[in-house]
Amino acid sequence: MKFYFSTGNVLVKKYEELRWQLQKVVYSETFNADTVSFESDNSSIVMSAPLPQKFVCRDRLNITLHNPGFKDVVAEFTPEIDIQPFGPKSNFYLCERTRKRTLAESFENKATILSGVVLGVASVSAIIGNAVRRHFIPERRRMYENLGLPSSIFP
């Protein structure tokens, strides 16, 4: 499998930015001295990042490869893709899919659910603690009664 990259100016948030892009993927298979090649079309660019940055994606990426004489082949890249075509750099670029993860997908993670439960229990306990404190401290009740509100509100 061969990957062909190119550079180009891409309009990003009203500014042109020089980015590297995955231009084409070619897969060749040889059997009995016959070689068949499958190529991706250029309808969409699935990997692109600013020039000095590497591309990091925590989701699967699928690229469809075509050959007129055969059925299409789908190349599936597993999660945790990490591509750096221009040498090592310290910064990285997250793919759009990873950045725009939906709430439903986030709830599939057990840590997200656990933190939500902890936050809910802490909120309910704070409300109950405040109500108990108001009920058991009589000076506070007298202070609330002396705020100038009509006495018919407090029995």
Nearest Cα neighbor of 92 from 77, 80, 106 is 80
Q: Are residues 32 and 76 in the same domain?
A: yes
Could you give the number of structural domains in the chain? 2
From 99, 118, 135, the end of a domain falls on: 99
Per-residue pLDDT tens for 7-63?
777 777 777 667 667 777 788 888 888 888 888 887 666 666 666 666 666 667 777
- pLDDT over 70, % of the chain: 58
pLDDT of residue 28: 85
pLDDT of residue 90: 46
Q: Are residues 6 and 55 in the same domain?
A: yes
Instruction: Give the number of C-alpha atoms closer than 13 A to the C-alpha of residue 59, restricted to the C-beta side.
Output: 15
The owner of tokens 């001295």 is: 33
Which residues form the domain of 119?
110-145
Q: Are residues 91 and 30 in the same domain?
A: yes
